Structure 1
């Protein structure tokens, strides 16, 4: 208790602009800018009654709020306290997933899906924060129990938190988020040194559970069968991916030009969220699509480089968290883009930093602010650790 009070009284680190990791900052800024342009282009066709700039203004507000909160997290967030309080933070965020079912508070779509909380002037999607909180807890637990996770009992502790979140997600239902959350937590355990046999056992159990979830929900089976050949039923189950592929085809190498997408005109459903990359590909072509992939790859590779630097000076929690943030971003982007290209079923996951939506954009900006904080706190650590090894040798 005394040690905890001392940690709370200790001054928070103050990180400066000069210590920002340039590749992460530039890639993040460009992705957000691309998202703003794409959101405006994909929504200007349906903005009647709220002004042609309605969605753009709201997304700009989301970006400003996310950048402001991210700046505060980067400058002042004590990563040590985040590690210490990861469990109650994760438990609180997982519990918030149940609020979507509270009458008068939860917001349901016309299909009956309940994923949002009504906050008056805005809505909030709790899974966007909960998935990061669960991942932070998994990293903190694994860093503190490097030997414990080698036993099956210790291995299952962070998985229990993910399982609780998944149970609430499947009630919404949000099968895609449940899959990605479980996968990242399992990846954290593996990177922390858990036994491969335990990971394979859980993967087999998860595959069986996923198969059961698909079997009891006909619409999930329809998605699985339709994505393999969307043109077999272009006006039914394959409608979304058929028009998404048409958008990619229309774009060619250099695109049809900004604002010139044809598919966004009532042909491509959810053009500003789930299928925003199709609009980008149609208007900027293979070149624009490749730029987006390159920016995501930059964030992924940089996160692993920062993780190696943190690991070199013994900061295991920071190393695991840096890798987890990079993997989560890459996997979510892969699933979204794979659905657009009919390589995977459509899962309703946003494209990080680009898709319209305040909860997603703000959560990702906060996560990347944490990555920036890790990068700042470990600057020079890799070199100093290498020097120490050379002296010891």
Structure 2
């Protein structure tokens, strides 16, 4: 489908076949990003990985992230932080003593603390919480600029305040807070040298890489901030995915019991399920795949832009066309999925389809060269939390509420999340 959003021609692809053509067959041609006003403000001219246009700068920055920050080995190295924050969340749930708990708020703290400790070496409380900067950044990120699509109506942006809000948040988070944190890291390194590899956060690593910059590419201060902002921006979709998965488990107690049984068998009476155990939890992976399918966190993925004219499935698509892949619609296509509106993890037990970008029926993290760089980081957080929560606790709805009556209404921000809090009563299983 071709839409004209103001002056911007926009192609919407809503089939797995079209998604494959865009993100695999013609991946290079469809590999750039549109220059949108809000992201350009928040990410200092799109100096991050997610929104940088295709080119040598983006390729080099993505390589830095993959090799030094978000590769499989590096994600494993953050294990202790994940386990410590999981332990804190379990303690809070264990101490709830039968009262009603908003588990979503606990998920927010769990994920934000992990991301902040890994990226800047500080928890959410150490600076960011004072001005609620992360929430304001996410809210600004979800803002809309009329002028991006209809330039002569740019004055509307001033009227609704979206651009000014983005500028304020960028100034406070990027120009002030992140700059102070980076300067603090620089000062510590001058005073006592760099930490060893095990103690390094993203900033330490990026400052090391900065010294090794190759000809034609310089990892400058804005690039470092861009990488950090991508990590912060990914917190909401990770939180939303974890909350939707738990919502479906609460709503479907039979599926919850199957997952609890798997968790109990894998744990072998130990107090915690370790990350080494997760590879044996096939039903857990099926539950997460099905949750991604039914609740695609970013329904249209991140917009792409064509670099040149291209013929797509018999149609001529001109250069500079914005492209939206409707991953939400594809994941519910009845031509692909039996009973697509039902939550049925079993559909993935005998299927090779998964979220990792090779199967275009299910692409919650995108696919091809523009697949989300933080996918492994996000999945490690979700799997560890979900496995241990169902192992340690039973979750029921308060006030005698029936499971099938749980409100599953959606609200849209950076990602699709629950409209109402997930309120449950928690009781230890043993």
Normalised by the size of structure 2, how large is the TM-score?
0.27
Higher relative contact order (CA 8 A, sep 6+): 2
Which structure is higher in strand share? 2
